[in-house]
Structure 1
């Protein structure tokens, strides 16, 4: 069940990050002074300690971890000479967020979340049925 829970948390984090990207798609000035930089979620395998691996009675998988990372692709430049953030040539750096890609990622994360909830519920039911055996 730990694997399913960690995957559910990772998919929830992905949906939150994607929502933030979509909300900031037109933000040309963030707290660090430049345009909003797209964020993504990087998944990694949670490490299990050697002592836990040796303990056969407590043998289990630890699941997946997730961390937020910045997308380093360059910002888009748009010609808007009247914009307050325009450079001397009239170009404004805009966030490196593509709405179509974000919507695809959001759909994928949402479906992954639903799949993990289904897997969690199936595992929970199997455990409950096992407990109720005569």
Structure 2
């Protein structure tokens, strides 16, 4: 693998981790989104990654959405409550999302460090030739 190959592969990892961060932040932003019981709840997003054939890194294969069923919460004073007093919230686990946020952030940082080290190695190689 060449130095430029390392940068290319790490950049694919940066892209996947950025999309994962985007999905998790969207989930966290909508954790308290309320809908009426006749509507679908906010659908949690999941990023599915896959290897690029030939050892060329990783790519986003799909973004999958979770269940639209959500969870019913008894809030009779809410303006969207039905006759029984229920509203629909998304079924998003905050602690799971925070864990995924940390993993995606660390993966992004690791790939950024690979790019930086490869650039430093390339610059050092140019200095040797002088």
Q: What TM-score do the two structures reach when normalised by structure 1?
A: 0.77
Q: Which residue of 2 aligns with 1:12?
A: 18
Confirm or deny: 8 A CA contact 2:50 2:59 kept in the other structure. yes
Separation (CA, whole Å) in 1 of partners of 2:68 and 2:102: 22
**SS of alignment partner, residue 41 of structure 1:** strand
Show the 5 A alignment for 1:86-125.
86-125=81-120
- Which residue does the alignment assign to 2:57? 63
Whether 1:37 aligns to 2:43 is: yes
Gaps of 5+ in 1: 49-60
Following TM superposition, by how much is the alpha carbon of 1:74 offset from its aligned partner in structure 2, in angstroms? 4.6
Deviation at 1:87, TM superposition (A): 3.7
TM-score, length basis structure 2? 0.79
SS at match of 1:132: helix
> C-alpha separation between the residues in 1 aligned to 2:104 and 2:82?
37
Separation (CA, whole Å) in 2 of partners of 1:133 and 1:71 = 53
